Chain A
Amino acid sequence: MSTATKNTDNREEVRAVAEAALTPEIVAFIADCVKGDHVQSQLIRVLHKVQGHYGYLGPDQMDAVAQLLQVPTSRVTGVATFYHFFRLEPRGKYMISVCLGTACYVKGAERIADRLQEELGVHFGETTKDKLFSLEATRCLGTCGLAPVVMIEEKVYGGVEPDQIPGIIGKYTKMAQEEKKA
């Protein structure tokens, strides 16, 4: 009986916008997730994938995930803001993680943390204006023998003294400048 006179369905448009917000690889990954049962339980997997590519979860990407997985957007943002692991802002080129685990803490991690925040001019969870550094606190990195520990990207710095910090940061700033020139 139903014969629509005008097509008012925007499903394809909305889908196209969502697909454009993600890479074809992620779109294909989600398409795979949707095939199975319990699509909603795939949400965290998909968010990991998105963050793996972009380094963070932007509003357009979260909207796209919601539309393609057909999971309410509020649930996507609820999950993304709940877990510490998910970043909602673009991260800097270099991620600086300061271990605040027990051993590092006892060995003066707080002074390291203070100095890093001072030198970079950002708080934990923030990124410098030049988008070069993001600063985060972590739990034990499993290298307590080296305490206090700072990790920059994949490299671990052990037995760090506050006065070493400007030098370490300077190294990365220089590295970035040289990369830019090249």
Chain B
Amino acid sequence: MSEQQTVNLTIDGVKVVAAKGATIMEAAEKSLGVKIPRLCYHPKLSMQGSCRVCIVEVKGANGYVTACSAKCAEGMEVQTNSPAIRQARRDIVELLLDNHPRACLTCDRDGNCELQNLAYTLGVREHLFSGERKRFPIENSSASVVRNPEKCILCGRCVRVCAEVQGIENLSQHSRGFKTFVSPAFDANMDDSVCIQCGQCVNACPTAAFIGKSYTENVWQALADPTKHVVVHTAPAIRATIGEGFGMKPGTPAAGKMVTALRRLGFDKVFDTNFTADLTIIEEATEFLGRLQKGERLPLLTSCSPGWVNFLERFYPELIPNASSCKSPMSMMSALIKTYYAEKAGIDPKDIFVVSVMPCTAKKFESRRPELTMPDGTPATDAVIMTRELIYMIKSYGINMAALDDGEFDSPMGDSTGAADIFGTTGGVLEAALRMAVEVVTGAPPANMEFVEVRAVEGLRVRELKVNDDLTLRVGISNGLNNAKKLLDKVVKGEEQFHIIEIMACPGGCIGGGGQPYPPAGYTILDPKLLARRAAALYAIDVQKELRSSNHNPAIKAIYANYLGEPGGEKAHHLLHTHYAPRLPRGIR
């Protein structure tokens, strides 16, 4: 590098060369391997610099400097751990703790809390300041996200992730000074605001000011009820992340151990949402090819991600006709369990309790949608639990996950192709649809099953895919709804034409969902390295499967032959499709 592109400084007495424009925090980490403590800072979000935890001493500077925002300068002398700095940081965290409920032992994030970790690493061992503490009620009335402003430390990460990554801007800091709190407009709950229930605020929160609503108690009760036949099904993305909860390296596939653990917990049947992911592909590809033939309602917008569906209804209602009418794999599966499976097993659907394990908070809201209930008005999915909740249940039961043998999902609704596994990561639904669509259009399966060009790890892609001489598909793939906006605005204005757009609400797709494990040590949320590892787990499963295209799943063929009839037919339509409607308040794009 030339001289102009670098600056020379000393950090903790060590001469360091930093890239021009690098912050002190970045330089200390890169050159010295020193991770300066931080709270409000997040590498993927805008700079706030409000928590002051990352302060360092800079010789000649007036007061302490925040390492997250201060850039390295020529000749700078930085101390990251002088006695004065250590004391000041400790004071800052002590002041935060003084205004925080002393309820770690009973907190949802005990052992997983950034504030708790900081208090420990910075050496806070007593409560020195005993001032007034803020008091707020817990907002628990939404289906998916619980807000507890007393535990909020006003770092603003939720506000920024909601605005900058998801483009919702549902959250804001309200009031001022000591009375400041974070909430949606008018202090509304998540169901009554423009919230899309994606749970990224839960992931971004360093404490438990936002948590996913827990339904584990309902599940324990059902499992203990001898009159209930309790059936569980697990989303594609769970197998890629559940291991993290048990100390496995991120990206370790753990489907087999998960199945055994679920049986040990007492579930009567362990099915795989993958099965209905395959089914979704059949229905959605049929729907897509039908629209393509008629040239109507294109682009087709995928509809598996419930956060995205909420976004569609609130922010882009004019595009509702473009959304696939397919239910999500979760809702297809739960409906089939209470119809097809109940009939086959000779069990009254009223005695069946369906639990789904999802990487998602928005699925909890989806399960309560009136249009997805059974004819008698009861929900098809009785309880939706997140990956984190399943990890808790397994630990709570005392199951030694690492020692478990691999189990197999129950047949037939546990059989799936590799196309279903990749649903859990960005581009996966589109890739799975392409595997089938190419075969339907050309008469032969694609030569290469891997459509790597649609794996939009960077968040947004537009690609043209040649199917044959007559057909080239223009596809869009996005994850993180701010990225989706960019595509949808072009569609609304008629600036660009697409055949199909896959939209996943959460960054990286379901592997980055709002119900996934909090990042293990060394990773942060929205961390591309973590998302890549999780995605790699799903691709590894896909590659190992003999069948990799949904239309080759024999169990799927059988369910059409024996129960559903034709893809897109009357019975299929009744059980596997849904509808959407504009929802108020309307979001501001």
Contact = CB atoms under 8 A, between A and B. Distances in A.
Interface residues of B, number: 39
Contacts of A62: 185-186
Among B163, B499, B580, B582, max chain A CB count under 10 A is at B582
B318 to A, nearest CB: 4
Interface string A54-96: 0000010011001100111111111001100000000000000
A182 interface: no
Among A10, A66, A78, max chain B CB count under 10 A is at A78
Contact of A2 (B172, B184, B491, B589): B491
B297 A5 contact: yes
A175 interface: no
Interface stretch (B40-48, B173-181, B377-385, B507-515): B173-181
Contacts of B588: 66-67, 70-73
B497 A1 contact: yes
Interface in B356-392: none
| Chain B residues touching A, majority SS | loop
A9 B318 contact: yes
B170 interface: yes
Interface in A1-18: 1-11, 14
Contacts of B168: 72
B198 to A, nearest CB: 16
Interface magnitude class on chain A? 20 to 34
B171 to A, nearest CB: 6
Contacts of A4: 297, 318-319, 321-322
A72 to B, nearest CB: 4
Nearest to A4: B321
Interface in B494-512: 494, 497-499
A75 B297 contact: no
Contacts of B186: 59, 62, 73, 77
A73 B317 contact: no
B348 interface: no
A1 B173 CA distance: 42
A82 B173 CA distance: 9
A82 B318 contact: no
A83 to B, nearest CB: 8
B170 A74 contact: yes
B321 A6 contact: yes
B173 A78 contact: yes
Contact of A78 (B174, B295, B585, B586): B174
Contact of A82 (B169, B171, B175, B193): B175
Contact of B169 (A2, A3, A74): A74
B581 interface: yes
B584 A14 contact: yes
A10 B589 CA distance: 14
B296 interface: yes
Contacts of B171: 74
Given A8-B581, A67-B586, A77-B185, A2 B170 contact: no
Contacts of A59: 186
B585 A73 contact: yes
A77 B580 CA distance: 29
Contacts of A7: 318
Among A8, A62, A75, max chain B CB count under 10 A is at A8
B480 to A, nearest CB: 17
A2 B584 contact: no
25 contacts: A1-B497, A1-B499, A3-B297, A4-B318, A5-B296, A5-B297, A5-B321, A8-B317, A8-B580, A11-B318, A11-B586, A66-B185, A70-B588, A70-B589, A71-B588, A72-B163, A72-B172, A73-B185, A73-B186, A74-B172, A74-B184, A74-B193, A75-B172, A76-B185, A77-B186
- Interface pairs A-B: 3 shortest CB-CB: A78-B172, A9-B318, A74-B172
Given A1-B295, A14-B584, A66-B185, 10 more contacts: A2-B297, A5-B297, A8-B581, A9-B318, A10-B586, A62-B186, A72-B172, A72-B185, A72-B588, A73-B194
